[in-house]
């Protein structure tokens, strides 16, 4: 296990993967055991994943991506979705607190009411934005955990959302956020890390 700073320094987007390098379902589950601890607004856990290793489904995802070659070589491709209706599960997310006596019935009902109103009052665009925000937080954690376990990743955009949804059978309330290719990097194709702005160029203290 790497310390956090080393892990952050070592993680980068792999542009090519070693072919014929399978990743087991057990290894993927091990990664997702950590991912489930990602932060999310009101603990709604908006992120949903389709971890694709089946070659036929992988081919459909490849086509949905416009033929991005990383998918062909990757050990798996992970489709990241955000649940636009996550707020409708607020009662389920707090039922355990109620049953354990951590909150009482009145607090439980107030939480359910307030969170439901918070999302519904702001409408569908806000619900979609929230799904993407929270799924992106989760996806970043996935890439860090994968690196810590010896796997390389590359987040990817440039796909047909509906074709991706159809490829993995995702329902309409799950909005596609990104693809993450995962595998063992072909280090002979590694590019040097790109230019990074100094902190002074992207951080303003107090106000712009």
State the average pLDDT over residues 52-72.
96
User: Closest Cα to residue 144, out of 133, 155, 129?
Assistant: 155
Q: Which residues of 173-193 are buried (b: 16+ CB within 10 A; e: fewer)?
A: ebbbbbbbbbbbbbeeeeeee
Confidence check: pLDDT of 24 > 80: yes
pLDDT attached to residue 108: 95
Confidence check: pLDDT of 145 > 80: yes
Taking only the tens place, the pLDDT of each residue in 159-183 is 999 999 999 999 999 999 999 999 9
Confidence check: pLDDT of 58 > 80: yes
pTM for the model stands at 0.94
Q: What angle do CA 46, 93, 106 make, to 5 degrees?
A: 135
State the average pLDDT over residues 6-30.
94
pLDDT attached to residue 178: 98
User: Closest Cα to residue 166, out of 51, 46, 64?
Assistant: 64
C-alpha separations of 117 from 68, 109, 111, 127, 163 in Å: 41, 12, 10, 12, 32
State the average pLDDT over residues 23-36.
98
Rounded to whole angstroms, how far apart are CA atoms 153 and 69? 14
Q: Which two tokens stand for residue 98?
A: 């109620």
Q: In this structure, are residues 134 and 46 in contact, taking their beta carbons and an 8 Å threshold?
A: yes
Confidence check: pLDDT of 188 > 90: no
Split at pLDDT 50, 70, 90, the class of 187 is: confident
Confidence check: pLDDT of 112 > 80: yes
């Amino acid at each position: 296990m790497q310390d956090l700073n080393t892990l952050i320094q070592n993680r980068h987007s792999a542009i090519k993967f070693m072919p014929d390098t399978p990743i087991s379902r057990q290894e993927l589950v091990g990664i997702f055991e950590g991912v489930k601890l990602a932060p999310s607004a009101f603990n709604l856990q908006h992120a949903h994943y389709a971890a694709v290793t089946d070659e036929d489904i992988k081919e459909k995802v490849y086509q949905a991506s416009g033929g991005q070659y990383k998918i062909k070589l990757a050990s798996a491709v992970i489709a990241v979705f955000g649940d636009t209706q996550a707020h409708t599960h607020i009662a389920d997310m707090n039922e355990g607190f109620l049953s354990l006596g951590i909150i009482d019935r009145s607090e439980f009902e107030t939480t359910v009411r307030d969170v439901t109103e918070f999302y519904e009052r702001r409408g569908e665009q806000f619900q979609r934005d929230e799904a993407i925000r929270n799924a992106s937080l989760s996806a970043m954690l996935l890439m860090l955990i994968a690196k810590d376990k010896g796997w390389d990743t590359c987040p990817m955009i440039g796909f047909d959302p509906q074709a991706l949804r159809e490829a993995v059978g995702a329902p309409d309330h799950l909005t596609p956020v990104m693809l993450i290719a995962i595998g063992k990097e072909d280090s002979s194709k590694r590019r040097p890390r790109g230019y990074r702005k100094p902190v002074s160029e992207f951080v303003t203290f107090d106000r712009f």
